[in-house]
Structure 1
Amino acid sequence: MTTPRIRVPSSVKAGEPFEIRTLIDHPMETGLRQHTGQTVPRRMIARFEAHADGEPLFAADFRNGTSANPYVAFIARFAKTTTVTFLWREEDGREHRASQRVTVT
């Protein structure tokens, strides 16, 4: 089971920078590893995106060198209460989503 975890403050001050942290439990198999004589099928996350109320906030493309359970952290600042949506897209088209509302005071 692929489980996204996110850590975003529930409230922040308007215009003040804060850190957003994400981690997804994912094997990130490259298709090169052998297990009991069989090749483990490739299963990789290709792209991570974060959107603030539908507007792009942050994006990253992953490659073969990305470790299992990728961790991403970045800085954001908001002027108003915002819903942040996170998307992890696998190479085969599977998607994993999570969202968090950030109250701006």
Structure 2
Amino acid sequence: MSDIKIRAKLEGDETTVKCLMSHPMENGMRKDSKTEQVIPAHFIQEVVCKVKGTVVMKSAWSGGVSKNPYLSFKFRGGAVGDEIEIAWTDNKGESQSQTAQIS
């Protein structure tokens, strides 16, 4: 169901991380066009990024984020070859994580 694609690039002393997460991101207020039934809420609540086990970014999300969200951020302290991990947890208790190396 879900997938995370990550690119992390070191430029000077800053690492730019870009990731695309596959997730339906339903806010719980939309109706199915065929059945007219409300589609239950299903959205990412927390996204965490770790580098070498240290949290460098943590964010709380809600149903207001669009389907298949894109996230981009920068941090200092990374090095080429360091492993970066992006993980999310949603409101149904599902989670996904993916790792990549900083280039």
TM-score over 0.5 for the alignment?
A: yes
Distance in structure 2 (CA, Å) of the matches to 1:59 and 1:5: 17
The residue that corresponds to 2:13 in the other structure is 16
| Structure 1: 5+ residue stretches without partners | none
Distance in structure 1 (CA, Å) of the matches to 2:102 and 2:71: 18
Which structure features the higher share of strand residues? 1
For the structure 1 residues 39 and 52, does the alpha-carbon distance in structure 2 shift closer, same or farther, using more than 3 Å as the test?
Answer: same
Structure 1 stretches of 4+ with a deviation exceeding 3 A read none
The residue that corresponds to 2:90 in the other structure is 90
**Corresponding residue pairs, total:** 100
What are the equivalent positions in structure 2 for 1:40-79 lying under 5 Å apart? 40-77=39-76, 78-79=78-79
Distance in structure 2 (CA, Å) of the matches to 1:8 and 1:24: 15
Distance in structure 2 (CA, Å) of the matches to 1:100 and 1:81: 9
How many percent identity over aligned positions?
Answer: 26
Distance in structure 2 (CA, Å) of the matches to 1:24 and 1:81: 22
Pairwise CA distance, 1:79? 4.7
Aligned CA RMSD, in angstroms, stands at 1.8
> What letter matches 2:39 in structure 1?
V
Q: More deviation in 79-88 or 62-71?
A: 79-88
Distance in structure 1 (CA, Å) of the matches to 2:81 and 2:4: 22
> What letter matches 1:40 in structure 2?
I
1:28 corresponds to which of 25, 30, 47: 25
* Residues 17-47 of structure 1 deviation map (CA, whole Å, 9 limit, x = unaligned): 1311011111100111111211112111001
Q: TM-score, normalised by structure 2?
A: 0.85
Q: TM-score, normalised by structure 1?
A: 0.83
> What letter matches 1:48 in structure 2?
V
